[in-house]
Amino acid sequence: MRAAVRILKWTAIGLVALVLLSIGGTWLQQQQRHADASVTALAAMRSDARVHIDDQRFLTLRPAAGGERRGVILYPGAYVDIRGYAPTIKPIAAAGYRVVVVPMPFELAVFGIDRALDVIAENRDIESWTLIGHSVGGAMAAVVADRQPRTFNGVIIWDSYPPSFASLDDYPNPVWLIHRATPDGAPPPSFARQRHLFPRDSRWAAIPGGIHMQFGSFKGGGYVEDWQPTISEAEQHRAVVRLTLEALEQMNATPTR
């Protein structure tokens, strides 16, 4: 009996040690790969006459005039300070949307896939929601959209694609991919290979000369780009905002199925 108790005790200790090592490894990787918000992004984090910013449980941007009925939830990429998205989401809020950026455990959306549902529960005055995800956040946005096909009026993926186990090929509402592209408009080959994971009528919107990390404004980090940008960060931000607003206009004009 005592031997069995000792075995159970040491098994439990071993499991706890494995969990702690796993958490420690994730934390170390996060520190090594973390991208800070740039000076430009931090400057955009100030509330002004057009947009009110609330950085508490969620990072929430609201049009200063209020009265918004449409919402946007953004799942961030991995290992980034979410304030780095301020330059691309602030103009979206100014256009009349409540924009909520979701902080993720360990800065990885894979650990907070269903957090969009928490956002919706806390913002019941919003009548319709669109889900946006960047990078790993884009992949996880596809997962929650696949699980909750009638919760969102559409999905906008910034420079990513759905995982194979959460294909959006039969998703009932509009899907847009806004992606970095070579100067002639071609997506990265890895994206082209995943075309079957999108609906046949999905919109692929290229940003020629753009790069992955310029969907926000960051400094540092461990992401390795496929190519050097041939447009400025400000130019890419304008393209991201323009295309995202175009996608939102379509999604809010299309009845949710």
Tens of pLDDT along 196-239?
Answer: 999 999 999 999 999 999 999 999 998 999 999 999 999 999 99
- Determine the Cα angle at 256 with ends 254 and 257, to 5°: 120
The dihedral through the CA atoms of 184, 187, 193, 196 has a sign that is: negative
- Sorted by sequence, the CB contacts under 8 Å of residue 120 that are 6+ apart come out as 71, 73, 126, 129, 151
Residue 68 scores a pLDDT above 70: yes
- For residue 182, the model assigns a pLDDT of 97
Confidence band for 194, pLDDT divided at 50, 70 and 90: very high
**How far from 131 is each of 137, 158, 175, CA to CA, in Å?**
10, 11, 10
Q: Residues with Cβ < 8 Å from 247, sequence gap 6 or more?
A: 130, 154, 156, 174, 176, 178, 203, 205
| 22 vs 74, more confident | 74
Whole-number Å distance between alpha carbons of 28 and 7 = 31
Q: What average pLDDT does the structure give for the chain?
A: 90
**pLDDT recorded at residue 32:** 63
Q: For position 253, what pLDDT does the model report?
A: 87
Share of the chain above pLDDT 70, in %: 87
Give the pLDDT of residue 58: 97
Tell me phi and psi for residue 230, to 5 degrees. Answer: -110, 5
Q: Which residues contact 20 (CB under 8 A, 6 or more apart)?
A: none
Tell me the per-residue pLDDT of 91-129, one tens digit each, with 9 for 90 and over.
999 999 999 999 999 999 999 999 999 999 999 999 999
- In single-letter form, the type of residue at position 69 comes to R
The candidate with the shortest Cα–Cα distance to 99, out of 79, 126, 136, 139, is: 126
Residue 12 predicted with pLDDT over 90: no
Rounded-to-integer distance, Cα 161 and Cα 179, Å: 10
